[in-house]
Amino acid sequence: MSNPYRLWEVQERSNTGPYCDENDFLPKIFAPKLQEVVKKYEIQYDPNTPVPADDDLADRVWKAGWELFREVGLYNTDTHRIINVSDEEIKEALYNASDRYWVGAGKDAVLWKHRRVEDTEPPFCLFSPDITIDEDLFYSMCLAYMKEPLLDGFCAPILEDAMGQKIRSGSPSEINGCTEHIYKMRLAAKQVGRPGTFFVAVGTAEHDSGQIAVSNNEWGVRQTDARIIGTLTEFKTADTLLNRVIHCNQYGCYSGNLTGAIYGGWCGGSEGVAVATVAYSLNGLCIYGSIFNQHFPFHLNWGSNTTRELLWPIAVSGQAMARNSKLLYTSNGFSNAGPMTEMVFWETACHAMVSTVSGWHLWEMASTRNKYRNRATPLEARIGMEVGHAVARQGMTRKQANEIALKMLSKYEHMAADASMGSQYQECYDVTKGLPTREHYDMFRKVKDEVAALGVEFPY
C-alpha cells in the first residue's frame, strides 16, 4: 500500500488549523516542547558511544519524537496555520503503512524493505552526489554513477544552467533545466543497460512548476520513480511544497520527505536532533504521505554529519524507528572533506557503518558539505555502499560498530573544521568514459584495505 494518509482531511488543516505568527512558532512552541520531551524521557548524549546499543534509549527517543510531533505539528509559512495530527491518527497511519515497496521498472525494479537493528539484509543503496554541477559535466557524472553495481536508486546532481542560461526559480528556464536534467538521466541509464532504474528526480526543480512539468512516463519522471519533498527547518512547510505532495499522489509516483535537523540550531544538541529526526519521519508519513524519509541532520558550523555528535543521533533515531515502526528511511551522509582525499573515504565509511547497523538505508554522499560545484564522485559513495553491504552481511553488532567507529573517528574527526576541499569531478574522473583516474582509484583501494583491517569483512 502506498496511499497517502487521509490526504484532503490533513491538507485542509493547513488552512483551518491553529493560527500562529511565524516568529513565535520556533521559540514559543517548537523549542520548549523539544526541551521538555528530552528531559521527560531522560535522553542523554554520550560522546564515548557514537553507536549506542541501548534498546530502552531507542524506545524513549521514539516516544519523545512521537510526543513532539503530536504537540508541535507542522507549520505552514504561507497560511500561518499549524497542521496537527492526533495520537489516534498517528497510530492509524503507522498501522496502514507498508514495510516494502517495489520501485523502478522492469528488470531494474528493486524491492525496498524496512530494516531492523543489526539487520543482515543489506541496505537499499541510493547513490547521489548532492551537489551542483557544470552543464557540460552533468551527463558524464550521471553515467559514472549509473555504472556503480551496488546502485539501487539514483539522484542526479543539480543544474544551475541550461542551454547556457542561468536557471531562475519558477521561470521558463527552470522548466527547461528540469527537462534537460531528466532527459540526460534517462539516456545515461539506457546507455549502461539499466533503463528502468529507480530515480529520485529532479533536484534541479526548486519550484513546484518545474517538478510538475517533468511528470511523464515516456521521457520524464515515471510513476515508478520518486520525488523528494522538503520539510523546512525546523518543522515548517509552504504551499509550494504541499503542491508537490498533492501532485505526486495524484500523478501516482512515490515521494520522500527530506529533512535536516540542525545541531546547534533550534534542535539544540545531539539529543534534540535524535528526537526531531523521529518526529520528522512521522510528519513524512502522516502529512506528506511519503513512502520514505530522507534525513540529513547536520552541524550548524560545519555543515556535516560524520562527527560523533551527529553520528550518535543518527544511530539512536535509526534504532528508534527500526524498533517501533515499519517505515523506510535513508541516512544521507554529509562529509567535511572533498573528493580524492583519504578523509572523505573515512568519513563515508564511518557514516555508512553506523547507519547500517542502526537500521538505516543509505544515501551517499554529499561531499565537501554539499556546498561546492563539481566536488563529488561515485567513489566516495561506493565505499559507503560497500561498507553497508559488508557489515550487514557479516552480522556486525552495534557494540562492534562502536569500537570500529571510534578508531575511524580518530583518523579524521580532528580535521573537521578545516578539511580539504579535494578535487573536482573532472580532475579525478575520465569525463568521456565516466571512470575514475588510476590515482583516484588507488586511493579508494588503499582506504578500503585499511577499513577491512579494522574488521569490516568486504565480500570482494
Residue-wise pLDDT tens digits, 171-186: 999 999 999 999 999 9
Highest CATH level, class, for 100-453: alpha beta
Q: 99 pLDDT band (50/70/90 cuts)?
A: very high
**Average pLDDT over the chain, rounded to an integer:** 97
Q: Which residues pair with 262 in a beta bridge?
A: 298
pLDDT for the residue 3 = 76
Query: Which three-class secondary structure string do you get for 291-353?
Result: CEEEECCEECCCCCCCCHHHHHHHHHHHHHHHHHCCCEEEEEEECCCCCCCHHHHHHHHHHHH
pLDDT at 72 over 60: yes
Q: Tell whether the model's pLDDT for residue 1 goes beyond 60.
A: no
pLDDT of residue 15: 96
Q: Please compute the mean of the pLDDT values over residues 360-364 and round it to a whole number.
A: 98
Average pLDDT over residues 57-64: 98
Q: What is the mean pLDDT of residues 151-156?
A: 98
Q: Average the pLDDT over 197-216 and give the result.
A: 95
Per-residue pLDDT of 228-256, as tens digits, reads 999 999 999 999 999 999 999 999 999 99
Q: Is the pLDDT of residue 378 over 60?
A: yes
> pLDDT band at 2, cuts 50/70/90?
low
The pLDDT value given to residue 242: 96
- Mean pLDDT, residues 125-131 taken together: 97
Question: What are the distances in angstroms from CA 27 to CA 85, 235, 265, 268?
Answer: 21, 12, 11, 12
Q: If you average pLDDT over residues 274-299, what whole number do you get?
A: 97
pLDDT confidence band for 4 (50 / 70 / 90): confident
**pLDDT score recorded for residue 419:** 97
Give residue 215's pLDDT. Answer: 98
Which residues are within 8 A (CB) of 28 and not within 5 positions of it... i.e. 6 or more apart?
none
